[in-house]
Amino acid sequence: MSTQTPIRIAVVGVGKIARDQHLPAIRDSPDFELAALISRSACNVDVPVFASLDAAFAAGIILDAVAICTPPNVRWEACRVASRHGCAILLEKPPAATVDEARILKRLANHAGVPIFATWHARYASKVSEAAAWCRTHSLLSGRIDWFEDARKWHPGQVWLWKEGGFGVFDPGINALSILSALHSADWRISEPSFDVPSNVEMPISAKFTLIAGDALIETKFDFRPTAVDTWSIHLESIEGARMDLTEGGSALSIDGGVVSRGQQQEYTALYERFAGLVRSGESEFDIIPLQLAEDAFANAKTCIVGPITI
Ligand code: NAP
């Protein structure tokens, strides 16, 4: 596909992230043209809306790509139809509810010869590449990840998030795992995971575990309970005693306790630039390490049932 031709894209699932990030990023991108929305609820928009991808194709809509922004456990049908029609596929994080399901989606796309992009938007936060450069020149010894946000503030009414396949506090927490595995591409493993699960839902509201790679240990806490301040931070220390604090979800960085530098928010702009490159070159990018780590934590967690929550 030439670099001049706009990539005609449909967004599938028009919820919070589609409205907050995908639609503005597509609108501002020189590479994409929004051709349709696939939605059960979208209205008052200036592009055609269809209840399914099949219905869009039946109506004669021509698409080169789809961005799937539904919850992770309901993506198979859209991937199947998109692959069959030769559309490149962008998957919001996490790519699927399980590693096995993710591999099936990848095989569907590979078999049809279409690019598939399992996105990890947090890796595009403005200070992650500088943090990665620090990691390349230091030997990691220890660290701490704190990923705390109030579920009722950021995810009100998202019932799916609290059901099997919805990940609970790992929905934001997996962003930390995606950043860490990009900073330091070692074979991380999860040790001693423990979860608090409210009595009226299936997914954890908080989680604690240690991430281990070689001699490096990272104490990790995810928490979805109300908090005075949202905290999305990764603190790392090297064997030589150097320190790196990557905070604000990867958009603020301090080295050795020095001044905090911040970059502009541009995660989804960068993510769509990457997707355009993949669509035009016909390549795929599909990293499941953060999902594998989350799955390992779920498989081995010691669970404590806590009081009920309001969603
Ligand atoms: P959301 O607000 O609940 O939106 C999901 C949308 O998917 C719904 O509005 C609905 O759109 C569609 N959908 C299709 N089948 C559904 C089903 N069975 N149950 C619920 N919705 C269904 O969720 P979101 O926050 O946008 O998250 C969607 C994905 O983006 C998740 O994988 C999440 O991890 C990821 N993400 C979210 C954020 C965030 O800050 N919220 C940030 C980054 C990534 P229609 O009514 O249009 O069909």
Per-residue pLDDT of the chain (311 residues; tens, 9 = 90+): 677 799 999 999 999 999 999 999 999 999 999 999 999 998 878 999 999 999 999 999 999 999 999 999 999 999 999 999 999 999 999 999 999 999 999 999 999 999 999 999 999 999 999 999 999 999 999 999 999 999 999 999 999 999 999 999 999 999 999 999 999 988 999 999 999 999 999 999 999 999 999 999 999 999 999 998 999 999 999 999 999 999 999 999 999 999 999 998 899 999 999 999 999 999 999 999 999 999 999 999 999 999 999 99
Question: What residue spans of 117-266 are helical by DSSP H?
Answer: 128-136, 151-154, 170-183
Burial 182-193 (b: 16+ CB within 10 A, else e): bbbeeebebeeb
Q: Coil, helix or strand for 139?
A: coil
pLDDT score at 43: 82
Q: Is the CB of 19 under 6 A from ligand 1?
A: no
Q: What separation in Å is there between the alpha carbon of 302 and the centre of ligand 1?
A: 28
> What's the token pair of residue 287?
């990293």
Q: Are the beta carbons of 198 and 191 closer than 8 angstroms?
A: no
Q: What separation in Å is there between the alpha carbon of 132 and the centre of ligand 1?
A: 30
Annotation marks residue 153 as catalytic: no
**Which atom of ligand 1 lies closest to the CA of 174?**
34
> What's the token pair of residue 200?
């009226």
Mutate-to-test residue for ligand 1 from 20, 69, 105, highest number of ligand atoms within 8 A of CB? 69
Which residue minimizes the CA distance to atom 18 of ligand 1?
A: 74
To which H or E segment does residue 107 belong?
helix 99-112
Report the side by side order of strands in the sheet with 140-148.
261-262, 252-255, 243-247, 231-238, 140-148, 216-223, 206-213, 189-198, 302-306
pLDDT score at 44: 77
Q: What CA–CA distance (Å, rounded) separates 305 from 1?
A: 53
Q: Which of 55, 53, 50 is nearest to 81 (CA)?
A: 53
Q: How far is CA 91 from the centre of its chain?
A: 9
Q: How far is CA 286 from the centre of its chain?
A: 12
pLDDT score at 17: 98
Q: Are the beta carbons of 250 and 131 closer than 8 angstroms?
A: yes
Q: Is the CB of 245 under 6 A from ligand 1?
A: no
Q: What separation in Å is there between the alpha carbon of 70 and the centre of ligand 1?
A: 4
